[in-house]
Amino acid sequence: MGWKKLAMIGLVALSVLAYMFAGGRELLDPRTFQAHYLEAPVATSCVFFVVCFLGTALSMPVTGVLAVIAGMTFGHALGLGLTLLACTCGGSLAFLMSRYVLHAPVQQRFADQLVQINKGIEADGAFYIFGLRMIPVVPFWLLNLLAALTPLDLRRFFLATMGGMFPLLLLLVHFGTQVQSVDELSPTALLNPGLLLSLGLLAALPFATRATLRYIGRRFR
């Protein structure tokens, strides 16, 4: 194993240890960002972007939680923009690390899943990644790693990821804005129409997406 691969693996290990022992759990607490946002909105937004970017790049399963926190802290537009860009850029970095550094261990560990991803990309190209982003059958972090071991180039991966993640992140951020409006966890508060609508849309998204993708597939074949 070359020194570049060792250095990258060491960097990943140090980042994970820093997260665990340097108050990383506080970065998944919405109160951490809310406490500073009113006083320093730009700095808080930048910190959130970095946290979301690194969490995604290091293949931590934090995308959904951070999207909800973004809605609770930044609102719809800024929360969605920060999360979508950070997740797409972080996923692209994970893609590059898998392709050029972690190729062998990823291929060995997820050989069966890789066969399915390769078949899908051979048949539908970047549209297959777009569909898997909209219907998260394959975890976000795992798809970043597996897509890197296919012929898909970075540009198409980036665009498919951004487009496919948009609907899900939009709903998660909206859900966060609705949770923020709940003052206490009482039955009356939880029957908030906005909150119920968010939950309903999140539940319906996979089914609606699957039907849409099937229609598009029939339309263009």
**In sequence order, what DSSP letters do the residues of 52-83 get, joined into one string?**
HHHHHHTT-S-HHHHHHHHHHHH-HHHHHHHH
Residue 8: pLDDT over 90: no
Tell me which of 86 and 195 has the higher pLDDT: 86
Question: Six-digit token pair at 146?
Answer: 């597996």
Model confidence at 38: pLDDT above 60: yes
More confident residue, 138 or 158: 158
Q: What pLDDT, on the 0 to 100 scale, is given for residue 23?
A: 54
- What confidence score (pLDDT) does residue 26 get? 67
The answer, yes or no, to whether residue 46 has pLDDT greater than 70, is: yes
Tell me whether residue 56 is exposed, middle or buried, using C-beta atoms within 10 angstroms of its C-beta: 0 to 12, 13 to 18, 19 or more. Answer: buried
The residue that leads in pLDDT, 28 or 133, is 133
Grade residue 185 by pLDDT with cuts at 50, 70 and 90: very low
Whether residue 187 has pLDDT greater than 50: no
The arithmetic mean of pLDDT across residues 27-49, rounded, is: 88
pLDDT averaged over every residue in the chain? 78
Every domain of the chain and the residues it spans: 3-219
Q: Indicate the pLDDT class of residue 10, thresholds 50, 70 and 90.
A: low
Residue 58, pLDDT score:
83
DSSP string across 83-108: HHHHHHHHHHHHHHHHHHTSHHHHHH
pLDDT of 112 strictly over 80: yes
Query: Can you tell me the distance from the alpha carbon of 156 to that of 148, in angstroms, rounded to the nearest whole number?
Result: 11
DSSP designation for 148: T
Q: What is the pTM of this model?
A: 0.77
Average pLDDT (58-80) is: 89
Kindly tell me if the per-residue pLDDT of 205 is higher than 60.
no
What integer pLDDT is reported at residue 206 of this predicted model? Answer: 55
Average pLDDT over residues 95-114: 88
